Amino acid sequence: MFFCSISGEPPQDPVISVTSGHVYERRLIVKYITENGTDPITGEKLEESDLITVKANPKTAAPRPTSATSIPALLQTLQNEWDAAMLETFSLKQQNNNLRQELSVALYMQDAATRVVARLIRERDAAREALASVSATMGVVPAADGAGDVEMGDTAEAGGLPENVLSQIDETHQKLSATRKKRKAPEGYVTQDQIKTFAAKHTVPSLHSSSPAGITALAVSKNNSHFLTGGNDKVVQLYDRENDKVLASLKGHQKKVNHVAFREADGAPTLLLSGGADKIAKAWSHDEASGEYKAAGTIRTHKGEITGIVVHPSSTLLALSSSDRTYSLHDLNTFQQVYQSPGSDEPFTSLGIHPDGTLVAVGTPASTIQVFDIRSGAIAATLTPPESVPFTVNTLSFSENGYHLLAPDSLSSVAIWDLRKPKLATSIQLGEGFKTHKVVYDYSAQLFGVAGSEGVRVFAHKSWEELVRLEEAGDVVDLAWGAGGKEIWGVSGRDVRIWGAA
């Protein structure tokens, strides 16, 4: 490798001076000799005949240019490539922003069209009502040709329940209230000493999709053989615990699933129920012919996301609460709405039904719990913590004997309300770092569990003693008691965890 003594670049046609031994580019040294007649380096007399051509092996690689052999030059090259990459990224971002703007315009136009359609529907309904009033005044009976639009099934007006539904609720109330006051825990039911020995027993890993990840809701069948989960991936899954496999992955929600539930009743088909952030509730039942679970009904009553879903003790009604500030009741045979409450001042964030079936409780973002008489729709009680920073009552649970209601009363504590007074029976502090996700009483009404950001805690009712802490799961978002209280089920991330006696 050599360089021209004049230009400092690798020569294309190299020659060497016999007088000085320096290497030159032929065209440059010839020009210099013509003008000066001397060697540009030594100053000695030099003629073109003193130049000897240097012939290199044609297979020899050409020397790298100086721009590729110095650190500043390399840095400049890398900087140029980086600038080019950033310019391309900027262009792509501009294109992305343009596409987003176009999409926003399209969505706005769709929204505007939807509003126009809704306004036209309201005007049409108003015109029909006016026509009916005029017809009634003039004594004209409209023709029953069945040509009218049918948009939903017949529903009861807010403020009253159909007579057949009222009779079902009253019958259920009389039947259950006569037995629950004398009811004792079944033989072989878990004891408080056994609860203290609870530890991790089994984990069902990796349920639902990993994107977006996370199980949001859990329900366990009466015999513990199956459990139901809902997830951020918009899917409801039925899992067979005994055979350790997924029986059904049920799709139909457009957003995450907030709550799931079983309807299990003698003489009636088992229903899998779910409510989601897409404002709808869905039901699936098992089809004996195909052996698969198929959609049995879809409820589109509410205008806000579903925040609570509970099967009424009669097993014939489904209660839903929503962020649209209403709750509703639906017939589980026809899935038609039988009642929707008037609008409240606050959205409803959680839902529970009294074990006798006569009261419904809803939580709000304003720290309060509203208890309604399910038969009349009237407010039976409003429960507000005496002093607290405003927080959302995102979970609540009636005790199985019907005397108490369990719910958070602050960001880091839970309260037990005595419904016979009604007043606050006690408040249990869970620690500043604990955020409550789910509270639930067991069947005996002598135990209750609290799931939150630091695992699961189980307490004894009346003595309020903390019996056990189950913290290895970390953040537990939902909780359920197994049959006989022998197990506690929880969901953490994409896993379903089961705790039991050691």
* CATH code of 470's domain: 2.130.10.10
Q: Is residue 362 part of a domain?
A: yes
In a domain, 471, yes or no: yes
pLDDT of res. 175 = 87
Residues 55 and 91 in one domain: no
SS3 267: coil
Residue 497 domain-assigned? yes
Q: For residues 97 and 175, state if they share a domain.
A: no
Strand partners, 88: none
**Range of the structural domain that residue 56 is part of:** 14-63
142 domain residue, yes or no: no
Any idea what the Cα angle at residue 375 is, between residues 369 and 378, rounded to 5°? 45
Around Cβ 30, how many Cβ atoms within 10 Å?
15
Give first-to-last CA distance, the chain, whole Å. Answer: 80
On whether both 340 and 392 belong to a single domain, the answer is yes
Q: Give the closest residue to 31 by CA, choosing from 40, 23, 22.
A: 40
Task: Round to whole Å and give the CA distance between 301 and 288.
Answer: 29
Measured distance CA(228)–CA(283) in Å, rounded: 12
Both structure tokens of 144? 């029953």
Q: What pLDDT score was predicted for residue 387? A: 75
Torsion over CA of 214, 219, 225 and 226, rounded to 10 degrees? -60
Q: Are residues 128 and 203 in the same domain?
A: no
Answer whether residue 380 is part of any domain.
yes
The Cα–Cα gap between 26 and 110 comes to: 76
pTM of the model as a whole: 0.68
Instruction: Say if residue 122 is in the same domain as residue 187.
Output: no
Which of 119, 137, 155 terminates a domain? The answer is 137
**366, 461: one domain:** yes
Handedness of CA 464, 469, 473, 475 (dihedral sign): positive
The pLDDT of residue 285 is: 94
Evaluate whether residue 400 is within a structural domain: yes
Computed from CA positions of residues 264, 268, 271, 275, in that sequence, does the dihedral angle turn out positive or negative? negative
Question: Are residues 260 and 126 part of one domain?
Answer: no
Say if residue 37 is in the same domain as residue 92: no
Residues 292 and 367 in one domain: yes
Of the candidates 7, 9, 4, the one whose C-alpha atom is nearest the C-alpha of residue 65 is 9
Fill in the DSSP letter of residue 126: H
Per-residue pLDDT of the chain (502 residues; tens, 9 = 90+): 678 888 888 888 899 998 888 999 999 999 999 999 899 988 889 988 889 998 866 566 666 666 666 788 888 888 999 999 999 999 999 999 999 999 999 999 998 999 899 889 888 888 887 776 665 555 444 443 333 333 333 344 444 788 999 999 999 998 888 777 667 778 889 999 999 999 999 999 888 988 888 999 999 998 888 999 999 999 999 999 888 899 999 999 999 999 999 999 988 999 999 999 999 999 999 988 888 999 999 999 999 999 999 999 999 999 999 999 999 999 999 999 999 999 899 999 999 999 999 999 999 999 999 999 999 899 999 999 987 678 899 999 999 888 999 999 998 999 999 998 889 999 999 998 899 999 999 998 899 999 999 999 999 999 999 999 999 989 999 999 998 999 999 999 999 999 998 6
Asked if 321 and 234 sit in the same domain, the reply is yes
Number of domains in the chain: 3
Residue with tokens 């629950």: 180
Residue 150 belongs to a domain: no
- Buried b vs exposed e over 287-317: b needs ≥16 C-beta within 10 Å? eeeeeebeebbebebbeebbbbbbbbbbbbb
Q: What pLDDT, on a 0 to 100 scale, did the predictor assign at position 156?
A: 42
Is the domain of 84 the same as that of 59?
no
Q: How is residue 78 annotated by DSSP?
A: H
Burial of 451-468, coded b for 16+ CB within 10 Å and e otherwise, reads: bbbbbbbbbebeeeeebb
Examine the domain organization and report whether 331 and 247 are in the same domain: yes
Interatomic CA distance for residues 497 and 489, integer angstroms: 6
Q: Which pLDDT does position 133 carry in this prediction?
A: 63
Residue 200 lies in a domain: yes
Show the tokens assigned to 198.
């609870």
- Dist. CA 137–CA 134, nearest whole Å: 5
